[in-house]
Amino acid sequence: LGLHPSASPIAIRRSYRELSKLYHPDTTDLPQSVATAKFQQLNNAYATLSNPERRLAYDLKIGYSRMNVIQQPPGFDTPVSQSRAKNFNSAYLDPTDRPLSPGEIFALFILGATLIGCLILAIAIGLIRGS
């Protein structure tokens, strides 16, 4: 499909649609046999890349790892083992994509503090009204 291995599902679909218009045997100027072969290759590529499990298997086959694209923190040079990658079901929701930023940690702290504060307030109001 002419895409980078880290292309998103949306980019894969967009590229597939554009190329399918170009190579479809009914709409192309190419000879019928060439157009059919190209269109079949295009369909096979899209079937592989649009399925998360097949895409992960393809990425492992070509030696591509999403971890190599992501900026890793110092001392985080341990490669992802193939057994772990095979057990992971989705190529899109890898929990090790990146660590939380300080802003995200702060937001989670504030969210937790707000939740605890609301619970304490609700209990206090219940006790005051119940007395």
11-42, pLDDT tens digit by residue?
888 888 888 888 888 888 888 888 888 889 88
Instruction: Kindly list the domain boundaries of the chain, sorted by start residue.
Output: 100-131
Q: Is 103 exposed, middle or buried (0-12, 13-18, 19+ CB in 10 A)?
A: exposed
Q: Determine the Cα–Cα distance for residues 20 and 42; give it in Å rounded to an integer.
A: 7
Q: Determine the Cα–Cα distance for residues 10 and 49; give it in Å rounded to an integer.
A: 11
Per-residue pLDDT band at 82 (split at 50, 70, 90): very low
Distance of CA 24 to the CA centre of its chain: 29
Least confident stretch, 19-23, 55-59, 61-65, 67-71: 67-71
Q: Determine the Cα–Cα distance for residues 57 and 102; give it in Å rounded to an integer.
A: 34
DSSP state letters, 8-29: -HHHHHHHHHHHHHHH-TTT-S
Question: Tokens 């291995």 map to which residue?
Answer: 5
Q: What is the mean pLDDT of residues 36-57?
A: 85
Token representation of residue 27:
């709409």
